[in-house]
């Protein structure tokens, strides 16, 4: 199966400054920043599990979008992880993906879960030299998230 990234995530210390810079240099239009709350973030980089808040925005232009994230939790979002953070792909079977990643020995940096315990996001890197972090986003969220990208309103 081929996965085509639909976004690149960039982690920054100041979202508004980064958005202004990217808008002026690249001509993107960004949605109004949205505060996202993750019910349970298992951050395997820091070893901390619990709720997580972040400020996020996406470009209105697509189909390939830029995501800008401001999060001061450390771990997977620590300052040494600022800049290009991940490539995002839709994942139809997150539980199966997590199992395969762990069996392959690929470093899983974080797993985000919804209130019902289902996986919403997995951050993982390849154990090869590329070490590019991939964000596997549950396909179940696709319709809702794509509506957010287009309208700027997260329902």
- Residue 130 pLDDT: 66
Question: Which structural domain range is residue 14 located in?
Answer: 7-150
DSSP per-residue letters across the chain: ------EEEEEES-HHHHHHHHHHHH---BPPPEEEEEEEEEETTTTEEEEEEEEEEEBSS-SSEEEEEE----GGGSGGG-EEEEEEEEES-HHHHHHHHHHHT--EEEEEE-TTS-EEEEEEE-SSTT--EEEEEEGGGHHHHHHHHHHS---
pLDDT of res. 1: 63
**Residue 155 domain-assigned (yes or no):** no
Task: Judge whether 86 lies within some domain.
Answer: yes
Examine residue 2 and state whether it is found in any structural domain, yes or no.
no
Is 119 a domain residue? yes
For residue 34, tell me if it sits in a domain: yes
Number of domains in the chain: 1
| Within-domain flag for 79 | yes
The answer to whether residue 1 sits within a structural domain is no
* CATH code of the domain containing 25: 3.10.180.10
Model confidence pLDDT, tens digit, residues 70-98:
999 999 999 888 999 999 999 999 999 99
pLDDT at 33: 97
pTM above 0.85, yes or no: yes
Query: Is 112 within a domain?
Result: yes
Q: For the segment 97-114, what is each residue's pLDDT rounded down to a tens digit?
A: 999 999 999 999 999 999
pLDDT of residue 128: 77
Q: What tens-digit pLDDT sequence spans the chain (155 residues)?
A: 677 999 999 999 999 999 999 999 999 999 999 999 999 999 999 999 999 999 999 999 989 999 999 999 999 999 888 999 999 999 999 999 999 999 999 999 999 999 999 999 999 998 776 678 999 999 999 999 999 999 999 88
């Amino acid at each position: 199966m081929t996965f085509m990234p639909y976004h690149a995530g960039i982690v920054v210390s100041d979202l508004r400054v980064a958005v202004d810079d990217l808008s002026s240099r690249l001509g993107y239009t960004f949605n109004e920043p949205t505060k996202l709350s993750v019910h349970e973030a298992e951050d395997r980089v820091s070893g901390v599990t619990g709720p997580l808040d972040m400020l996020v925005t996406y470009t209105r232009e697509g189909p390939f979008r830029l995501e800008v994230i401001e999060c001061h939790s450390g771990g997977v979002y620590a300052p040494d992880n600022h800049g290009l953070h991940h490539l995002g792909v839709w994942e139809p079977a997150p539980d199966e993906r997590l199992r395969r990643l762990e069996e392959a020995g690929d470093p899983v940096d974080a797993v985000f879960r919804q209130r019902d315990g289902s996986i919403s996001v997995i951050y993982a890197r390849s154990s090869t030299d590329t070490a590019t972090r991939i964000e596997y986003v549950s396909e179940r969220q696709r319709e809702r998230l794509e509506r957010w990208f287009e309208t700027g309103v997260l329902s």
